[in-house]
Each structure stands twice: as structure tokens, then as C-alpha cells.
Amino acid sequence: MFTGIIESVGHIVSIERRGGDVRLQVRSADMPWADVALGDSIATNGVCLTAVALPGDGFVADVSLETLSLTTVGDWAAGSAVNLEKALMPQSRLGGHIVSGHVDGIGEVVSRASDGRSERFTLRAPAVLAKYIAHKGSITIDGISLTVNAVNGCEFDLNIVPHTLQETIIGRYQSGTRVNLEVDVIARYLERLLLGDKAAESDSKASISEAFLAENGYLR
């Protein structure tokens, strides 16, 4: 688990294709690596990766076809900047929100504009994720825990303060930038709980609709 509070910006050193999968190496001179062991999880642009080698100034990880299909890892190249966060420890402060590092889909930056000393971004999420994004709710963008300022259909706004612009890669975003999205885990579990016994049915039958909510007393 992670908090969405970025510890360091690293860079991709190399990407090696291995029979469809990928092995990559990440380096960051700013991240303290002494407490990282083989097998530890490190969120890399919000993607939970397992360290399979520790060269001293970073880590090496394998990326599966599943992860490649759901994230922006396939867009990365040597030199790409990435947000890094080590796994949450029991004594850590939960400064952001609960982040699993399991990316739900890829979003896209629609626009960017100055807003005082901050920057206001509008992003577009895949239609299937729109229902999990709420005004003043939490969302993870490339591993960064952020608050949603406004929602309009599949699009939502973020107000990014100067510190976040400086300490993460979000300051590099422009219109068209693709980003990893992880919705609030509580919203996902709530949807599943509302289904009740229908959760055991096939996906085609186990879905929440207006008719389902009315039938089960959630709408009057």
C-alpha cells in the first residue's frame, strides 16, 4: 500500500523487451535506498512494481503483459521521468489517501491553465471509470494523491499547488499527456457491496443501474 505522497522523481535507465514482457531499471539519486530489500514494492508513476535487483541507486523490476495493457509503462523510454514512492510502513503518516498501486486505466490531459500560483488541469478518464470520480473525492494520478475540484462527465479538474508541481512530474504535463489513473479504493468496494448477493452473478447481470438502486430501496 502507498499514500500517494511522492518521495522522489526518478528516471528510466533502460527498458528491455523480454518475450512480450518488459524488464526496466529505474534510478534516483535523491531516494534513500538503504531500507529497500529485494521483493519490496515501489510505486512508479502509480504502478506497484516489485524490486528484483538493487544496483544501489535504484531498482530493477519486471512488468507483465497485464500491467503493460492497463498503464502507460509501454510509453516509457530511457530517460523518462517517473514519480517514486516506497511502500507504506505501519508507523508512516497517511498524508494522502490509501493507494494500492493497481492502476485502473489511462487518462489524458485535456488542458492546462494558470490559476494564481497554482496550475489547473482538466483530465479525461475512460468512461468506465467516470462513476468512481467525485467532486472533492480522492484520485491518484501517476501515483500522486490528489483532490478532484470539479467533475463534468468523464472530465475532471485538478488544482495543483507549486510544491506538487516542483516535486513531481505533473509540472511537465501538457495537453495530450497520458497518465495512470487509480480511483479511490473505497468507491470500488462500495459498488461491490451494494450489489449484495448479485455480486456472485455474471458481470452482465451484476451491475448497478438506476433500476437496480430503485429495486433495492436506494432510490425513492
Q: What is the pLDDT of residue 217?
A: 59
Q: What is the pLDDT of residue 143?
A: 97
* Cα 179 from Cα 189, distance rounded (Å): 23
Domain identity same for 181 and 118: yes
Residue 1 domain-assigned? no
Domain boundary among 54, 86, 118: 86
Domain limits at 25? 8-86
Q: What is the pLDDT of residue 213?
A: 54
* Cα 73 from Cα 5, distance rounded (Å): 20
Q: 73-120, pLDDT tens digit by residue? A: 999 999 999 999 999 877 666 667 888 899 999 999 999 999 999 999
* Res. 191 pLDDT band, cuts 50 70 90: confident
Domain identity same for 61 and 127: no
Dmax over CA atoms of the chain, in Å, equals: 60
